[in-house]
Chain A
Amino acid sequence: MEDVRPEGGAGDKYSLIVPTYNERLNIALIVYLVFKHLRDVDFEIIIVDDGSPDGTQDIVKQLQQVYGDDRILLRARPRKLGLGTAYRHGLKHASGNFVVIMDADLSHHPKYLPSFIKKQQETGASIVTGTRYVKGGGVHGWNLMRKLTSRGANVLAQTFLWPGVSDLTGSFRLYRKSVLEDLINSCVSKGYVFQMEMIVRASRKGYHIEEVPITFVDRVFGSSKLGGSEIVEYLKGLAYLLVTT
């Protein structure tokens, strides 16, 4: 084995892009946990807030007082404009050579960040994606229906798309910045189909993708939804990817 430093490669900087909408409390917890788990790493947190009415931006400003406004960047937008464009917006302001995308609802725990970074350094991968469906990974807080839908969706995608990754809709990922820029410009889907499109296109383009196990604790504060319309969106996304990639 080569000697690989577990954290903080020389000269590497990581930009964490976190889109928020009404995540007042969660964003504070996330920021604390990121600083706790990434001690010797050069990073910045870019918070793309879509005009949350609950005062998310005020909390972010308070956090900037604590941690410094060079480490926490608030790049707000006037209103809800969608996830895909939030990443694009955050990316414009990213100064790191790697970008991490994560959800603000605490379902993505910052304690896994070091394993993403370590995996990237060990393998030289362009993308490291978090997967819930391997040993060491897992989900908490899903009922049987949700698990069934998730497994069904996964089997469908694996059978028809051959994506080369075990978790398509997870969105906790580390990208080389240039790769994310390339991908984001070729993806048009919305919502969580966007996550699927990103990783399938990356796989088709031949980018080196690695996986690390993550656990997923469903929303602690606030509620998550998965209804019939999500399933229809998913199937449409699947068909779209079949004919365009």
Chain B
Amino acid sequence: MKHIVKIITLLVAISAVWIGLLEMSVVPRSQTWLLPIYFIVSLGCYGLLMVGIGLMHFPTCPQEAVLLQQDIVEAKDFLKQRGVDVNSE
């Protein structure tokens, strides 16, 4: 099944529940009407929250840059001895 079909199925299921709620009037209609908006807003909030959390905990590795520079020096030395032309352009 294509992925978009899965997502549409999910949306249809949610809509069905929503229409059910509207019809049965368990909650006052005026509030049920607003549920899709709540849904979209909370989806947006979830997205922003995840991006925010991701940014806060963005894994960085400054020490790796230092280690890489050491590796580069080591590699250049070795290759120069072996006659490989590693002079920077």
Contacts and interface: CB of A to CB of B under 8 A. Distances in A.
A141 B55 CA distance: 15
Interface stretch (B24-32, B33-41, B70-78): B70-78
Interface residues of A, number: 48
A245 B2 contact: yes
Nearest to A60: B84
A151 B58 contact: yes
A6 interface: no
A222 to B, nearest CB: 10
A25 interface: yes
A161 B3 CA distance: 7
Nearest to B50: A155
Nearest to B80: A28
Interface in A38-56: 54
Contacts of B50: 151, 155, 158-159
B47 A33 contact: no
Contacts of A58: 85
A229 interface: no
Interface in A137-159: 137-141, 144, 147-148, 151-152, 154-156, 158-159
Contact of A28 (B4, B59, B84): B84
Contacts of A242: 2-4, 7
Nearest to A154: B54
B64 A140 contact: yes
B60 A138 contact: yes
A155 B61 contact: no
Interface string A113-145: 000000000000000000011110111110010
Nearest to B52: A151
A155 B65 contact: no
**Which 7 residue pairs across A and B have the least CB separation, nearest first?**
A138-B61, A138-B59, A151-B54, A32-B75, A215-B61, A215-B64, A155-B50
28 contacts: A25-B89, A28-B84, A29-B75, A29-B79, A32-B74, A32-B75, A59-B86, A62-B85, A65-B83, A109-B64, A109-B71, A132-B59, A138-B60, A138-B64, A139-B60, A139-B61, A140-B60, A140-B61, A151-B51, A155-B47, A158-B50, A159-B47, A217-B61, A220-B68, A220-B69, A242-B2, A243-B3, A244-B2
Interface of A: 24-25, 28-29, 32-33, 54, 58-59, 62-63, 65-66, 106, 109, 132-135, 137-141, 144, 147-148, 151-152, 154-156, 158-162, 204, 215-217, 220-221, 241-245
